[in-house]
Structure 1
Amino acid sequence: MVFYELVLSTKHSTHFQALSAMMKQISHKVVENGGIVRSIQNHGIRQFPHRVQAKNPDLITGQRYFEKGRYISIYYDSNPTTRAQVDRILSMNDQVLRKTHLKARSKLDWINTKRMDKNPYVQQVLNMDQGTMASKLESGSS
């Protein structure tokens, strides 16, 4: 499983029901394929750094260029196949202006793991893991 961060920018005129339906559809797709949705965050309506052009004109206003939009972040764990399916769902939705998938990383990902025997941080974490496993085994046997 890979930990992904999906950052969406949608049209500012999108209704709440349409946004929640899109989030439910994405969440169901991730969970159906064995993934976990960690969090969905709505960052609100903000100005774009530059004017953004939509694929199709808006049905309500007829507007094709947008200067502000709604930002949404979704954090989830899944396999790369599910990520491609989520991308397909978003590309078919006309309310989505931009989408970006990122592999989110933790602080431990930045530690050099090529030579684990030379890295004291990795050794410390491994010793801590062995200590907790030993304490679990001792408490389980008594």
Structure 2
Amino acid sequence: MIWRTLLPIAAVFFALIFGVYHLWSANATLKSDNATLTKQRDDAKGETATLRNQYNTINEALNNAAEQKRQSDEATKMLKDRLTELQKSSVCNREPVSDAVSDQLRQRVAEVNSTVADTTNVVH
């Protein structure tokens, strides 16, 4: 008769011990997973910060290049306008140029164009 009483108590005790072991094992697995995920998150934060810095550096360089181009275009326009003004008021502008001078100028332009690597800067 004692076995009838002790057997259910022993079964409940064994179930509790097994449950506690199972919870302890699951807790250890969750702690390990948490540590792994925390490290991955921190690594991703570092990579994100690096990418953000690279993006900002590239963006700043592009903005500087755009500003330099704007200034260069503005200076080119001013020079072209000034040249046009000077040519309008130049006495030499109305004088005929000899064929020899014209040929020399064309030859010089061809020499300059042949040395220019960037075809967008060809003198016409």
Indicate whether the TM-score tops 0.5: no
Q: Name the structure, 1 or 2, with higher relative contact order (CA <8 Å, separation 6+).
A: 1
Compare the two structures and name the one with the higher helix fraction. 2
TM-score normalized by the length of structure 1: 0.18
| Higher normalized strand content (fraction of residues) | 1
